[in-house]
A = this chain, B = another copy of it.
Amino acid sequence: VSVMQTGFAFLEAGSVRSKNTTNIIMKNVLDLFIGAIMYFAIGYSFAYGKPGNAFIGHNYFFATNMDENFTYAGWFFQYVFAATASTIVSGAMAERTEFTTYMVYFTFLTGFVYPVVAHWCWSESPCVLFKLQKYILVKPHGLSYIDYAGSGVVHLTGGSAALVGAIALGPRIGRFKPDGTVNDLPGHTVTVAALGGFILFVGFMAFNGGSQLSISNPGDGNVVALSVMNTVLGGASGAIVAMLVYKTTDAIRGEDHYWSLLITINGGLAGMVSMCAGCNDMLPWAAVVIGTIAGLAFMGWHHLMLFCKIDDPLDAVAVHLGGGLAGVLLAPIFVMKGLTSPETQQHVGGIIYGGNYLAFQSFGWNLLGAVAIIGWTVAISTLLFGSMKLLGVLRVSEADELRGLDEIKHGEPAYPIKSYSDQ
């Protein structure tokens, strides 16, 4: 499942200029490895440590003191989720972030920000959301926040932090012309970016299928297959819609209009992100509808970011915040009660299939979840990136940015000229 990380690494590597390639790959390698150490040391403990309070868990530090609630498989899945959430940020902050600063903020995101979100939304401890439940609503039939594989917990968290990071950093030199128009700074190789995209498509299918954790219970195979089918259909809808919107809006404006590969890939990713919330309990037609909306949301966020002059080299915010938010809000509308397995029958049907009082409450919980995730992540990220900016350690110097980070920080240009001579 660390296939996801490989996908992100090469989507990002292909989408930056050649002078920053080693840098962005290095960050992805460290995401995998610093993430593992942090999640081993404190991350899993904060998220799932039992006992825990409404805000945070506290047990299993350094994988010690384990009891029957700690499973190795559970740790691994959660670690992958945590690394994914934090990786999203490196894309939006590519080509201009100080390397040591990156290591500090990444450590903080994986070790603290994400685990708290996971604790609130996924742990069995009486968490903040459940506590609220007592006061605001009668707790009906175990009703709670619906997010099967992390549209909210993973992608909305990552996307929100990415947005704050990109704003705090400011755009790359030359990204916006003095007259305010956008200057294209294309990545150095579409081939490698597309490779990353394909790996992510495969990864999402495995991720959303694998979120069932144990494949050995009877009936699980069916949930896995439904999740995978819905993930494919959601991605397909998002990709095709984004491709068509991009082509036709430019045509309507009278500009050159193209079939853009990168827009198509990102639209597909947004569609798959939106599937994470409810793909396990939803009919295929609903996946097509949600994927379509996610594709439109992606295009909307894409243009909004450019309009606001926020520079996100990977469109990470549009894909993960856009797609993730769509997923969290739409899942409670379209889910069916107990479509594939008894386990999911605790969910009330969504607004369309359930249609009753409980279904609207369920939507309310997901809305509250989204607000809580965005609020928490934006607040902490603003503190984090803001103080780094004030300290002057967030962004590399102008000279370094122009020359590229690979030679200066890593001593390893991605394509050393001398290794191509005598060819």
Chain B residue nearest in CB terms to A258: B411
Asked if A72 lies at the interface with its beta carbon under 8 angstroms from chain B, I say yes
Q: What number of copies of this chain does the assembly contain?
A: 3
Please state if B72 and A222 are interface contacts (CB–CB under 8 Å). Answer: yes
Is A386 close to B, CB under 8 A? no
Spot the interface stretch: A11-19, A147-155, A329-337. A11-19
Contact in complex: B29, A419 (CB < 8 Å): no
Please report which residues of chain A, range 208-263, place their CB below 8 angstroms from some CB of chain B when the two chains form the complex.
214, 216, 221-222, 224-226, 228-229, 232-233, 235-237, 239-240, 256, 258-262
In Å, the complex CA distance between A228 and B75 comes to 10
CB distance from A339 to the nearest CB of B (A): 10
Which of A5, A62, A63, A187 lies at the interface centre, i.e. has the most chain B CB atoms within 10 A of its CB? A63
Contact of A233 with B37 at beta-carbon distance under 8 Å, contacts A190-B21, A419-B186 already known: yes
Q: Given that A19-B422, A285-B62 are contacting pairs, would A76 and B29 also be in contact in the complex, using a CB cutoff of 8 Å?
A: no
Nearest CB to that of A239 among chain B residues? B33
The answer to whether B236 touches A34 (Cβ under 8 A) is: yes
Beyond A3-B202, A29-B264, A232-B79, is A412–B225 a contact (Cβ under 8 Å)?
no
* Also in contact, A9 and B40, with CB within 8 A (given A188-B416, A258-B411): no
Interface check A284, CB cutoff 8 A: yes
B76 with A186: CB separation less than 8 A: no
Q: Are B423 and A415 in contact (CB under 8 A)?
A: yes
| A36 CB to nearest B CB, Å | 4
A419 to B13, CA, bound (A): 12
Q: Are A225 and B72 in contact (CB under 8 A)?
A: yes
A370 on interface, CB distance cutoff 8 Å: no
Q: Separation in Å of the A231 CB from the closest CB of chain B?
A: 10
Contact B76 A228 (CB under 8 A): yes
Tell me whether chain A's interface is mostly helix, strand or loop, or mixed.
helix
**Are B412 and A26 in contact (CB-based, < 8 A)?**
no
User: Which B-chain residue is minimally distant from A220 (CB atoms)?
Assistant: B216
Chain A positions 170-188 with a Cβ under 8 Å from a chain B Cβ: 185-188
C-alpha spacing A75/B415, complex, angstroms: 40
CB distance from A261 to the nearest CB of B (A): 5
User: Do A236 and B285 form a contact, CB below 8 Å, given A3-B202, A191-B192, A192-B191?
Assistant: no
Query: In the complex the two chains form, what is the Cα distance from A197 to B30 in whole Å?
Result: 13
User: CA–CA, A374 to B68, complex, Å?
Assistant: 42
Asked if A25 meets B191 with Cβ closer than 8 Å, knowing A240-B34, A260-B410, the reply is: yes
**A404 partner, pick from B63, B205, B423, beta carbons under 8 A:** B423
Task: Find out whether the CB atom of B411 lies under 8 angstroms from the CB atom of A37.
Answer: no
Partner of A6, one of B37, B40, B199: B199
CB atoms of A9 and B194 under 8 A apart: yes
**How far, in Å, is A310 (CB) from chain B's closest CB?**
21
Contact assessment for B202 and A2 in the assembled complex, using a CB-CB cutoff below 8 Å: yes
CB distance from A294 to the nearest CB of B (A): 13
Is the Cβ of A226 less than 8 Å from the Cβ of B72? yes
CB nearest to A229 among chain B residues: B72
Q: Which residues of B contact A195 (CB under 8 A)?
A: 6, 10, 195
Binding site for B on A (CB under 8 A): 2-3, 5-6, 9-10, 13, 17-19, 21-22, 25-26, 28-30, 32-37, 40, 62-64, 71-73, 75-76, 79, 99, 185-192, 194-195, 197-199, 201-202, 205, 214, 216, 221-222, 224-226, 228-229, 232-233, 235-237, 239-240, 256, 258-262, 264-265, 268, 283-285, 288, 402-404, 406, 409-416, 418-420, 422-423
List, sorted by A's number, 27 A–B pairs whose CB atoms are closer than 8 Å.
Answer: A6-B202, A9-B198, A28-B198, A29-B198, A29-B264, A29-B265, A30-B239, A33-B240, A34-B236, A35-B236, A36-B233, A37-B236, A37-B237, A40-B233, A40-B288, A71-B225, A75-B229, A76-B229, A187-B419, A188-B419, A189-B414, A189-B415, A190-B413, A258-B410, A258-B411, A262-B412, A413-B423
Given A73-B225, A79-B232: 9 more A-B contacts, CB < 8 Å: A6-B198, A10-B195, A19-B423, A29-B268, A33-B239, A188-B416, A189-B191, A191-B415, A216-B221
